[in-house]
């Protein structure tokens, strides 16, 4: 018996094997993206290539929000709609944006812009598409008005009847994958906006509460920022204000 180590096959020897493996994935169907998908692909690629972004991650105590929604559901009865967690997040973001105008701005054409109106976009997955309907003047709307508006916009987006004006004018974006079981994620800014809030799943998690380990409802969030207009300390203060507002949801409903 020989102790010689078998030689590795040469490139020429491997080539026929590679050729024989052609089609191992089965039939491949190639389709052209729709015009909307082409626009999305171009915009996210341009944003990722040109925006110097950074992210801040946090976990917000949601015990008060969960209790607030439970009380509202019991008070309304008859299956009446109750503001979703996302509706409450939109309202909190809108009020925080009013107090932190830099986050409600944009970096465009080498200039800083600050917008007078607070218009919050909500990411909605439509069949074969991704759209961002906008809740205009979200800071001035009641929580119930925001809830009614987001329901209508989401239904129209999924039905394909959303109109260009309903997709225009956003100054900030909320992207929520929590309802799909996602704990935390990051996202791409809706350029040229200064920031986007990515919202994860509300769930009971072990946390340090009043110097004791406790299971409490919390929600992971990631604030994605354009570093050209929104700096770390300012972004942290903005995110902290969102946290404070969510921990007092009764004030949001006032």
Among the listed residues 100, 115, 180, 227, the single catalytic one is 227
Query: Strand runs (DSSP E) across the chain, as ranges?
Result: 53-61, 105-108, 111-114, 120-122, 124-126, 129-131, 134-135, 172-176, 195-199, 203-209, 212-226
40, 95, 229 from 131: Cα distances, Å: 9, 23, 25
38, 71, 143, 144, 145 from 148: Cα distances, Å: 31, 19, 9, 6, 5
Residues facing residue 190 across a β-bridge: none
Has 227 been annotated as catalytic? yes
Catalytic residues: 227
């Amino acid at each position: 018996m020989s102790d010689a180590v078998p030689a590795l096959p040469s490139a020429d020897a491997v080539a026929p094997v590679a050729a024989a493996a052609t089609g191992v994935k089965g039939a491949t169907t190639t389709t052209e993206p729709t015009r909307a998908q082409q626009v999305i692909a171009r915009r996210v690629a341009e944003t990722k290539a040109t925006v110097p972004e950074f992210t801040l991650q946090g976990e917000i105590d949601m015990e008060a929000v969960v209790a607030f929604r439970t009380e509202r559901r019991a008070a309304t009865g008859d299956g009446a709609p109750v503001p979703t967690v996302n509706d409450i997040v939109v309202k909190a973001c809108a009020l925080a944006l009013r107090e932190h105008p830099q986050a409600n701005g944009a970096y465009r054409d080498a200039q800083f812009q600050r917008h007078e109106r607070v218009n919050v976009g909500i990411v909605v997955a439509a069949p074969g598409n991704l759209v961002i309907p906008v809740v205009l003047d979200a800071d001035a709307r009641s929580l119930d008005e925001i809830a009614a508006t987001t329901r209508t916009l989401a239904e129209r987006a999924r039905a394909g009847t959303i109109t260009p004006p309903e997709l225009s004018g956003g100054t900030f974006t909320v992207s929520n994958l929590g309802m799909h079981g996602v704990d935390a994620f990051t996202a791409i800014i809706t350029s040229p906006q200064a920031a986007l809030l990515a919202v994860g799943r509300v769930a009971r998690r072990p946390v340090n509460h009043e110097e004791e380990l406790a299971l409490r409802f919390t929600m992971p969030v990631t604030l994605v920022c354009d570093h050209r207009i929104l700096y770390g300390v300012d972004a942290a203060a903005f995110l902290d204000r969102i946290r404070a507002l969510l921990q007092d949801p009764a004030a949001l409903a006032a």
